Amino acid sequence: MFRYTQNSLTKFEQLFRELHYEIRYEKGTFRSGYCIIHDKKVIVINRFLETEARINTLLEILSTVPVDETLLSDASRAFLRQLRATTPGA
């Protein structure tokens, strides 16, 4: 079962780093709580979001970006497979 912990958030951040995305937590008025700059592979997330909301935001983003599993470490690949098995749309 997937848990909304700081450790899970760290795994998400590592997964996106390996996909060459930069995640920034900044102050902003984003309707959805985040903004993606596709050309630069930058994800900006509202810094006031709690851990669970940050994870849900990254889950939502993960379902919209291309994922090249060949870029991922074994640990990130296993985490991604766990996500896909437990959360629809991941």
Residue 43: domain span:
6-85
Tell me whether residue 74 is in a domain.
yes
Digit-coded pLDDT (tens) for 56-82:
999 999 999 999 999 999 999 999 999
Tell me whether residue 90 is in a domain.
no
Alpha carbon distance 44, 70 (integer Å): 25
pLDDT band at 36 (very low <50, low <70, confident <90, very high): confident
0.85 cut: is pTM over it? Answer: yes
Tell me whether residue 1 is in a domain.
no
Tell me whether residue 49 is in a domain.
yes
Alpha carbon distance 38, 5 (integer Å): 27
Residue written as token pair 């379902």: 63
Tell me whether residue 50 is in a domain.
yes
Alpha carbon distance 23, 1 (integer Å): 25
Number of structural domains (the chain) is 1
Alpha carbon distance 24, 55 (integer Å): 14
